[in-house]
A and B are shown apart, each in its own frame.
Chain A
């Protein structure tokens, strides 16, 4: 058994014992269900809440397309609350190991820094990806039930693109957790930076090409238009470069023991 396998397994055991393996998928499933259900029942909800106090729904309003609704699940629910939840659940990914001495303990065993980082990222990404996919699948089921069918291939392509953005979210939070020591600071920096990336996506084609949040935009576009944008591959390549840079920087920080307060 390689150290990478042993450390990955250890991470899964910890997630299981901390019940993260239960609550994170549940949260994403809830977020996934929220968008189609709220969108579909919005007129009824407004009628029930607003009554006759000035809120009227245009009866000629066309029903939203299913693709738009599931795209809104990614763009609204997952990209706002979802980002915050991923960051909060991952802010201690390295910070807690630094604080309780576990990082030094593991690195004085026959483990390379790469195996330690790999174990963390592999386990956490696979787990977050499954949680996001579950939420997305719940949203897909509700959309198909309440709205209209979404082509299967487009649905799969969209989640693949979206998961590249999720991988960046994880690697970025990982890097911030490696550099900083307070969980509050880590959460604040990560959330603010990731939301800025998100806000800037869609503003300008050049920014979109360099912006990792562009992958989220491409995922939504493939759902809504049914076609792949010409800038997708460039954006995907640059996002993968960003991911590599964050992981390389984290590796350098840990290898050089920069996390020690001298």
Chain B
């Protein structure tokens, strides 16, 4: 599904990514974890096209990364900080983003709006939304569009417990429908519960990519992560 080969990126003399190699298969819910500064956001930005890597190739569904709409339609990216037009309603915004993906699944959209308890907020300006509500809006659009892979950067930030539960159900449904999730997070316990595979990034390299059950065994992901960090 997502294949990253020898990905390198540096800023000036500082090398952030030192040859990232990662092959995410269809149906994976990958927990992408690493310490601050390990290069998680740089990797995500390289995949989504926000940054141009210095070296390496990225393909999704066999399509090589480029500025083409064909490549961009393979994924839906939920960034950590959600940027919206503050003076338009949530409903108008969702329709705007869905149109960019040439998607008009109104019934599916309404289903997720209800699931995430956003019916009342939909007609209010997005400038009045909380951080969590903005994340919910992105999740609604992502699950409605149903792309081959959803790439998320800390998607649970600001979400209330009920929404986290809805998120888990929505991910399960999405995977059953043939989707793949690339889930960057600092929350190791959540990653352990939601994800079926984990990739640990350290010093700009993938040091582990394995099924969670095989990695964790009798331990917790937190313990394994700390061991890998040599702390």
Contacts and interface: CB of A to CB of B under 8 A. Distances in A.
- Are the chains A and B members of one assembly? yes
Interface of A: 1, 3, 6, 10, 13-14, 17-18, 100-102, 104-113, 255-257, 260, 262
Interface in B67-82: 67-69, 72-73, 77, 79, 81
Interface stretch (B44-52, B176-184, B201-209): B44-52
Smallest CB-CB A-B distances: 5 pairs: A101-B83, A110-B69, A110-B72, A109-B100, A17-B87
Interface stretch (B17-25, B56-64, B91-99): B91-99
B125 to A, nearest CB: 9
24 contacts: A3-B100, A6-B99, A10-B96, A18-B87, A101-B83, A104-B83, A105-B79, A107-B67, A108-B48, A108-B49, A108-B72, A108-B79, A109-B97, A109-B100, A109-B101, A110-B73, A110-B100, A111-B72, A112-B67, A113-B67, A257-B51, A260-B50, A260-B51, A262-B11
B110 to A, nearest CB: 20
A257 B52 contact: yes
B54 to A, nearest CB: 11
Interface residues of B, number: 26
Given A14-B87, A108-B77, 19 more contacts: A1-B102, A3-B69, A10-B96, A17-B87, A100-B83, A102-B85, A104-B50, A105-B79, A106-B100, A107-B50, A109-B72, A109-B101, A110-B69, A110-B100, A110-B101, A255-B67, A257-B52, A260-B51, A262-B12
B52 A256 contact: yes
B42 to A, nearest CB: 11
Most buried by A among B11, B12, B99: B99
Nearest to B48: A108
Contacts of B67: 107, 112-113, 255
A39 to B, nearest CB: 41
Nearest to A105: B83
Contact of A17 (B50, B88, B97): B88
Nearest to B138: A105
Contacts of A3: 69, 100
B99 A1 contact: yes
A255 B68 CA distance: 11
Nearest to B141: A109
A105 B126 CA distance: 15
A8 to B, nearest CB: 12
Contacts of A1: 99, 102
Contacts of B85: 10, 14, 102
B143 to A, nearest CB: 16
Contacts of B83: 100-102, 104-105
Nearest to A261: B11
Contacts of B48: 108
A105 B72 CA distance: 12
B100 A111 contact: yes
B2 to A, nearest CB: 15
B99 A13 contact: no
Nearest to B52: A257
A238 to B, nearest CB: 30
A262 B68 CA distance: 24
A260 B45 CA distance: 12
A13 B125 CA distance: 13
Contacts of B49: 107-108
Contacts of A107: 49-50, 67
Interface in B187-214: none
